[in-house]
Chains A and B, each alone.
Chain A
Amino acid sequence: MILFSIVEGWRNFKNLGIVGLLTICSLTFTLILIGISLHGYLIVESWRKGLLGKFEIEAFLIPGADSTSIAELAVKLSAVKLVDRVTYISPEQAADRFRQQFDIDLNDMMGYNPLPSSYIVKLVKEADPATSWQTVSNIITTFEGVDEVVFEGKVLARVERFYQKTGAVAMVSVGVMVVVSLVFTTLTAISSIKASEDFIRLIALSGGSRAMAMGPFIVMGGYYGALAGGIAVSVVYFMTIMFQLGWEGQTVVPVIWIPFLVGSGILIGVVGAGWSASRKIRMY
């Protein structure tokens, strides 16, 4: 019966004109959108990870803190949840960093080094930029010996908002297009079923099973999905090459996307056509 469905499904696939073409177009567009959205998401994700790796919390210490309290503070900081590592910056090192960053030597300019010692605190990758950074910062502020805590909270929050907004827009767009494609596939299958009423009646009244009558239409949906998936993979591939859309370590479409996009197309096609077949084939 599988062979029967494959052969008859192919026949249905070949026989449909303008409606079939529209289905392939909508499915292809959906899959391109899925591919580009995923690709874009992965680029943003890679960019976000790189950016988060550069953020740090700086805890300035009260001037004149002794070495024992500085060491004790290091232990307390390391024990805070989500803290990955802490690095002590002496006033001399702080002056060096300032000189490297702004090309100004504070000792020469002011005659002394006004910068206090500090701890640079890095959080683990899993820390949520929207909440964890502020929480850890608040905890560190309460520690004895800490004068002031500084981190780029607003920038961090903005990065996170952009990341979440991008993800949401991509998800909604993909969801809408999947629904549109399902509608097109459903209409195509209905049109094919109507055009094949003699075939269905023949199968039904000759004693063929319902699965035998439905199979060719479901497989037809699969063919549409496979073709659309193949086109979509090629389009996404060329778009990433043309616009150099890649991220660190991944400059072109990953190979896994070929089965992913083709598989998604087949799934949409089969679900749409299967739904139509189950609703419209009424000889049982």
Chain B
Amino acid sequence: MEWQLTIDSSMLKNGYDSTIVKLLNVSYDYNSNRGIDGISLAIRKGEFATLVGRTGSGKTTLFRIISLELFPDSGEVMLLKMKSSQIKRKKLPEWRRQLGIVFQGLQLIGDRSVLDNIRLAALCERRLSGSAKSRSLHALSQVGMAHRLHDRAAQLSTGEQQRVAIARAIVNEPFVLLADEPVSNLDAETSSEVINILQKINSAGTAVVVATHQPERFAICNPREIRLEHGKVVES
């Protein structure tokens, strides 16, 4: 299981095709319940993958481990040149800045404007050119929500909130976008709009990993399907 990542972020930004995220035999338990069990997989640049499985199969746990919101009990997560076993607390923000996350519950701050929601995330990354506001506006225009920037997040429809959540996830130009059940609560039409947005993001070079229990909706993206059952990868 010897594995060495020898690329750096600048190579990836310039189109170097290689693995961005790699999990090696990763396990995580919630007290006595097994969350994920010995998962090994790799996510490559520009890839569109779906993480398919029933509720409780470990999809969200896997995302939380990739973002190091949870640390694996065993195994190793690698992101670019960084390793979960060696990462120091003060380097965690740097790790997370390489990822964009669309949470299952969206977690928009309802009493704040759409722009404020995006700008909060944009303020976390100061190395990109352009102000937090201009980057937020750009991200909003990418998801077709620039016209609602001053509205409160709570006033938006579920589909619009989903788009704002995607804009927030891509505002810092991540290498990988992790979207947890992005279409589960949407009707077919809104769902295809959101999938279209994810596809555009992917075609711009960002790897997209979608956790879903409705893989058929993503067939248009021709994704690589990673199937999870009881915390294990059963098909990839």
> Does B57 lie at the interface of the complex (its beta carbon under 8 Å from any beta carbon of A)?
no
Given A202-B107, A202-B120, A202-B121: A210 in contact with B89 (beta carbons within 8 A) = yes
Interface residues of A (CB under 8 A from B): 4, 198-199, 201-210, 212, 283-284
Given contacts A198-B107, A201-B107, contact A206 B121 (CB under 8 A): yes
User: A283: which B residues are within 8 A, CB to CB?
Assistant: 69
B positions within 8 Å CB-CB of A: 67, 69, 89-90, 92-99, 101, 103, 107-109, 120-121, 123-125, 168, 172
A198: chain B residues within 8 A (beta carbon):
107-109
Report how far A283 CA is from B1 CA in the complex, Å.
Answer: 30
Residue contacts A-B, CB under 8 angstroms, 30 given: A4-B123, A198-B107, A201-B103, A202-B107, A202-B120, A202-B168, A203-B120, A203-B124, A204-B96, A205-B67, A205-B69, A205-B96, A205-B101, A206-B97, A206-B121, A206-B125, A206-B172, A207-B93, A207-B94, A207-B95, A207-B96, A207-B97, A207-B98, A209-B90, A209-B93, A210-B89, A210-B90, A212-B124, A283-B69, A284-B92
B30 smallest CB distance to A (angstroms): 16
Report the separation of the CA atoms of residues A202 and B121 in the bound assembly, to the nearest whole angstrom: 7
Give the A-B pair count, Cβ closer than 8 A.
56
Are A208 and B124 in contact (CB-based, < 8 A)? yes
Interface centre among A4, A202, A207, A284 (most CB of B within 10 A): A207
Q: Is the CB of B109 within 8 A of A207?
A: no
Q: Chain A residues with Cβ under 8 A from B123's Cβ?
A: 4, 208, 212
Q: Which residues of B contact A201 (CB under 8 A)?
A: 69, 103, 107
Q: Is the CB of A199 within 8 A of B120?
A: yes
Closest to B100 in A: A206
Query: Could you tell me the distance in whole angstroms from the C-beta of A217 to the nearest C-beta in chain B?
Result: 15
Q: Which of B107, B125, B172 has the most CB of A within 10 A?
A: B107
Given A198-B109, A199-B109, A284-B92, residue A207 in contact with residue B124 (CB < 8 A): yes
B125 touches A207 (CB 8 A): yes
CA distance A198 to B108 in the complex (A): 8
Contacts of A203 in B (CB 8 A): 120, 124
CA distance A284 to B168 in the complex (A): 21
